[in-house]
Amino acid sequence: MARMSDRIRSIAPGGDDGWGIFHAARALEEAGVEIVNLTVGDHDIRTDPAILAAMDDAARGGATGYAALHGIPELRTAIAKRVQERTGVATSPANVLVTTGGQAALFYAVMGAAEPGERVLYPDPYYATYPGTVRAAGAVPLVVPTRAEAGFQPERSSLEAAGEAAAILINSPNNPTGAIYSRDTLDTLAEVARAGDMWVISDEVYDTQIWSGAHLTPRALPGMDARTLVVGSMSKSHAMTGSRIGWLVGPEDAIEALSAAAVHTTYGVAGFVQAAALFALGLGPDFETRVAAPFAARRDVCLAALERTSVRAVPSGGAMYLMLDIRASVLDAPAFAARLLDEKRIAAMPGDSFGRAAEGHLRIALTRPEAELTAAIAQIANLVEETRP
Ligand code: PLP
């Protein structure tokens, strides 16, 4: 074979993309082995039949050709309206680029914000694709450590110690910690971004999964709409992970420039998927609340089940995960997760997939019914007991 470029090899150096347990779980499932898969934030409900009917109607009605490259105007308008209603920031269709999921929006945002070789900061723990996404876009990832005692909120001292960068990428509500950034944290981030003439890339794909407190976007802070790119998605809010539909919201000129990235990668998003997304947004906030509700209930049930064990969850305010502290075990989190899968047939993500600050933790996705989750928690606690020093 001819040689693969350094750029593609650098995305997941050593072949480790942090998703090893997820891939192992998938392989077991494909081989017909029954496991409780708590690795990935994919709902256990399927996309609502009414949304699928809208997709089907659109496809049969002819929306099977190339669709408008920035997104169909009606969808850009609906996204702008949703963003404006939820955040109070004036938003027009020209501020919106429709993308193939939040992941493509992240990639475009980094491409637009950073020159090749420039640094992009993000707090640790972080969503597992961030380092590879930054590298894929030609920039250099640099983590900003956070502390459990500070609720995993990025702090001024760590942000300033990180030095010069083109952008800071944040995610609130946070995957994996569930932290919701406070007004103080966002004010600090905004000050640091202004002082360093940086972009803020705000990944808000969990904005409907708020269990306590309120979601704030940095784009709503004074003057910040000019330097904030917001990543949105219908994956989590509407149980549409497989439809690959999301967006970037930012200054008009930035969105126009970033559309070049969409043209030269995906060449737009399938028209019938966009029509389904338009229909889904038309279902309004009540629908989004209904999709999020089971995760809130499961979280409560899991926290109650944990009370009966010596394992503790990291306090969290949102998102469909719980981070469990397994430092009482002699095993590090990757070894613990491997043994959990091997012996108990439970798949959960080792915290190490999300950075140094999450070592010694296990992230479980609340994507199974309550009874399965409580049984899994009992098994995780058992394994901690079995592997105490
Ligand atoms: N950002 C975060 C924090 C996520 O957890 C995910 C998916 O799990 C994404 C972005 C990407 O979501 P999608 O590409 O499905 O919109």
Average confidence (pLDDT) over 190-218: 97
Ligand 1 centroid to Cα of residue 127, in Å, is 8
Residue 29 scores a pLDDT above 90:
yes
Note the pLDDT of residue 122. Answer: 98
Give the domain CATH number at 366.
3.90.1150.10
Same domain, 248 and 351: no
- Within a domain: 268: yes
**Of the residues 232, 250, 283, which one is the last residue of a structural domain?**
283
> In terms of domains, do 220 and 291 share one?
no
In which domain, by residue range, is 313 found?
6-46+286-386
Mean pLDDT over residues 15-33, rounded? 87
Cα-to-centroid distance, 205 and ligand 1 (Å) = 6
pLDDT at 17: 65
Ligand 1 close to Cβ of residue 202 (< 6 A):
no
The answer on 335 and 266 residing in a single domain is: no
Q: Within this chain, do residues 53 and 31 fall inside the same structural domain, yes or no?
A: no
Please choose, from the candidates 369, 11, 304, 191, the residue with its C-alpha nearest in 3D space to the C-alpha of residue 19: 11
Which helix (H) or strand (E) segment holds residue 363: the answer is strand 361-365
**Angle formed at CA 277 by CA 282 and CA 135, multiple of 5 degrees:** 135
Task: Examine the domain organization and report whether 191 and 294 are in the same domain.
Answer: no
Q: 142: which strand partners?
A: 121
The pLDDT score that the predictor gives to residue 148 is 86
Name the token pair of 352. 């190490």
Q: Can you give the pTM of this predicted structure?
A: 0.96
Among the three residues 251, 268, 283, which one is the final residue of a domain in this structure?
283
One domain, residues 232 and 246: yes
Mean pLDDT, range 89-96, rounded to an integer: 98
Q: Whose CA is nearest to atom 5 of ligand 1?
A: 175
If asked whether residues 25 and 120 sit together in one domain, one would say: no
Verify that 230 and 171 share a domain, yes or no: yes
Residue 16: the pLDDT is 63
Q: Is the CB of 107 under 6 A from ligand 1?
A: no
Q: In this structure, is residue 354 part of a structural domain?
A: yes
Q: What is the largest CA-CA distance in the chain?
A: 64
- Average model confidence (pLDDT) for the chain? 96
Query: Is the distance from the beta carbon of residue 169 to the nearest atom of ligand 1 less than 6 Å?
Result: no
Q: Provide the pLDDT confidence category of residue 359 given band limits of 50, 70 and 90.
A: very high
Residue 236 counted as domain residue: yes
Mean pLDDT, to the nearest integer, of 305-323?
94
Please indicate whether residue 207, judged by its CB atom, sits closer than 6 Å to ligand 1.
Answer: no
pLDDT mean over 275-298: 97
pLDDT of residue 149: 85
- If one residue of 236, 244, 265, 323 were mutated to test the ligand 1 pocket, choosing by the most ligand atoms within 8 A of its CB, it would be 236
Asked if residue 175 has its Cβ within 6 Å of ligand 1, the reply is: yes
Phi and psi torsions of 314, nearest 5°: -70, 130
Cβ of 351 below 6 Å from ligand 1: no
Residue 32 resides in a domain: yes
Question: What's the 159 CA to ligand 1 centre distance in angstroms?
Answer: 24
108 in contact with ligand 1, CB cutoff 6 A = no
CB atoms within 10 A of CB 324: 26
Whether residue 1 lies inside any domain: the answer is no
CATH number of the domain within which 250 lies: 3.40.640.10
Among candidate residues 248, 264, 283, the one where a domain is terminated: 283
Q: How far is the CA of 102 from the centre of ligand 1 (A)?
A: 6
Query: Ligand 1: distance of its center to the CA of 26 in Å?
Result: 19
Residue 101: inside a domain: yes
Same domain, 203 and 307: no
Are both 227 and 371 inside the same structural domain?
no
Q: How confident is the model at residue 18 (pLDDT cuts 50, 70, 90)?
A: confident
Same domain, 251 and 329: no
Query: Is 360 among the domain residues?
Result: yes
**How many structural domains compose the chain?**
2
Of all helices (H) and strands (E), which one includes residue 384?
A: helix 370-386
The pLDDT tens digits for 143-180 are 999 998 898 999 999 999 999 999 999 999 999 999 99
CA of residue 130 to ligand 1 center, whole Å: 10
CA–chain centroid gap for 18, Å, is: 14
* Ligand 1 lined by 232 (C-beta under 6 Å): no
262 and 372 both lie in a single domain: no
| 87 CB near ligand 1 (under 6 Å) | no
Q: What's the pLDDT score for residue 54? A: 98
